[in-house]
Amino acid sequence: MDKSARKNILLGFFVLIGIILFIIGIFLVGAKNEMFMKTFPISAKFTNAVGLKAGSNVRYNGVKVGIVKSVTLINDTLVQVDMQIEAGKRVFIHGNAIASIVSDGLMGDKIINLTSGKSETETAEVKDHEFVQVQNPLNTDIVLQTLNQTNENIRVITGNLKNITSEIVSGNGTAQSLYKDTVMANNLKKSFSNLDAITVQVLQVSKSLQQVTNKIESGNGALSEIINDTVLANNLSETMDKLKQTSDELIRASGSLTKTVEKANSGKGPINMLLSDTTLSANVQQSMINIKKASVGLDENMEALKHNFLTRGYFRKMEKKKRKEEENK
């Protein structure tokens, strides 16, 4: 065999090996992407599909059942994920399945994990092109931002605690005074003791009030009678009305008296004349003296008439009539 034929044989051998390897690679890639397996499509809509890409695995309760076919942005808030699921796994996936984006391991790529829903009733198998329920993934950026803010707050709090501790150790500042002031500590103890005593008294008063309330609700006791006695309530209402009327009359009388006093103070009215007119006062006094004298004379005349033989019979009849009336009483 000449050298040219040997080279051709070797070349053909390497070409054959290359073709075989190419075919094997196609089968491996096709098997990984479910290209040579009967599948059915389902979809899901997420608000965030970060880290997910075409070719990512789809698992059902941790077992691979398909792959992600495409990840499409629908609008500014929704991302549609289309999946290809092995036809033989349809019996396990129902219409109430929930899709979520998780990590494949601790630091692995993002995958779709399907879980069965929590519905108590059994639902039918998932259909082709059906949209399953989703559980949106946690936004790690927001979590990290929150953690950063929390760390900053912890740093500030730690710094403040350090300052307080330093003041206590060095004997300066208010914290040190509060820490070592025994008088204040005793005062605080007394305050708490007083609060305990007051609490006991409040409880006793509350218990007494509860007993009074129970008596009122059960219809016992004078207070219950006063509250429930409608007749007494009506009498009290009438009394209050009469008191109001009396008060109004007193107010009016007070107003009249005030006007009279104002007239007297201003030099007007009959009262001021009686008080300030000395001549009239003297005449009134003399009239009273004359009336008194006339009354004495009238008594003497009446006594004389009683003993006069012409009129004494009349007075005796009147006395007998008066005695009979008293006896009849």
- pLDDT tens across 39-72, in order? 899 999 998 888 888 988 999 988 899 999 999 9
Share above pLDDT 70 across residues of the chain, in percent, rounded to a whole number: 69
Q: Alpha carbon of 82 to those of 124, 130, 134, 167: distances in Å?
A: 20, 10, 13, 64
Q: Which domain holds residue 52?
A: 39-137
Tell me: do 169 and 103 sit in the same domain.
no
Tell me: do 112 and 161 sit in the same domain.
no
Euclidean distance between CA atoms 235 and 244, whole angstroms: 14
pLDDT tens track for 186-207: 777 788 788 888 888 888 888 8
Q: What is the pLDDT of residue 68?
A: 92
Q: Which of 73-87, 146-160, 272-286 has the lowest mean pLDDT?
A: 272-286
Q: Is 120 exposed, middle or buried (0-12, 13-18, 19+ CB in 10 A)?
A: exposed
Tell me: do 3 and 76 sit in the same domain.
no
Contact 133, 117 (CB under 8 A): yes
pTM comes to 0.39
Tell me: do 47 and 125 sit in the same domain.
yes
Q: Which of 52, 48, 33, 46 minimizes the C-alpha distance to 103?
A: 52
Q: What is the pLDDT of residue 105?
A: 73
Tell me: do 9 and 70 sit in the same domain.
no
Contact 82, 58 (CB under 8 A): no
pLDDT band at 285 (very low <50, low <70, confident <90, very high): confident
In a 3-state reduction of DSSP, which class is residue 128?
coil
Tell me: do 97 and 54 sit in the same domain.
yes
Q: Which of 5-9, 84-88, 132-136 has the lowest mean pLDDT?
A: 5-9
Q: What is the pLDDT of residue 268?
A: 61
Which residue type, as a one-letter code, is found at position 311? T
Count up the domains in the chain and report the number: 4
